[in-house]
Structure 1
Amino acid sequence: MNAKSSPVDVTLTVKDSLLGQGNTGGGRYSYTFEPDLIHVTERDTEIVYRLAEGDWPRFRIANLYTTDTKEQLERMEVRKDGAELAVMHRNTRQQLTVVSLLVHDTKHERHVNCDPQVTNDPPPVSGT
């Protein structure tokens, strides 16, 4: 039996953007992910998106949307009153997964989308 893989921790930073030069919300906001590319290599890997310290409680992660047609992502859960969101990546098929985190700005009562890159390579299957 394989040991459970370590979670992939991803920090999301969301800031107001001056002069409409941001990368989301009609240019009103700038966001970054650290790391900026999530690459999963083990089966059943938990990915945990966390708002950067200081961004919560103004910003809250509300939901996750994906184009995952091969049912690789499951058990999505918003935790800690929107400070983080966790999702399990099954990693049974190779694919680029388009993901969008819906973030709520409680100060201006609007939602913005933040989209990290997620790729994966399943480990080799042992025994046939």
Structure 2
Amino acid sequence: MTVPAELSYTADHEWIATDGDVSTVGITSHAAEALGDIVYISLPSVGDTITAGQSCGEIESTKSVSDLFAPADGDVVEINGAAEADPASINTDPFGKGWLFRMRITGSPDLLDAAAYTALTEGA
């Protein structure tokens, strides 16, 4: 399982990378592997205000449908249309081409560093 050290993580298996005032959000390789082949995603819309820990979309795989949880409070500023068109990219490159959306954070998120996330997933 890959856990890039430069990213932050949620206990719900989302990752977040902050660059200036915009953060990119995706799901971790652990989540992508657990879901299996991802066939459909429903993302929040640009302009949506989302709340940390609340569902903001869905990820459907050949195994199940799972909620996508907001990693922080904020406003959605961009979605990854390429991932919507090719959800399999989330399985093949969850930390790159498989990013899901970008947001402007307005509330302090409760995030884990790579070591804490690794400990969480190894304990699962």
Settle same-fold status: TM greater than 0.5: no
Q: Which has the higher strand share?
A: 1
TM-score, normalised via structure 2 length: 0.33
TM-score, normalised via structure 1 length: 0.32
- Structure number with greater Rg is 1
Which has the bigger relative contact order, CA under 8 A and spacing at least 6? 2
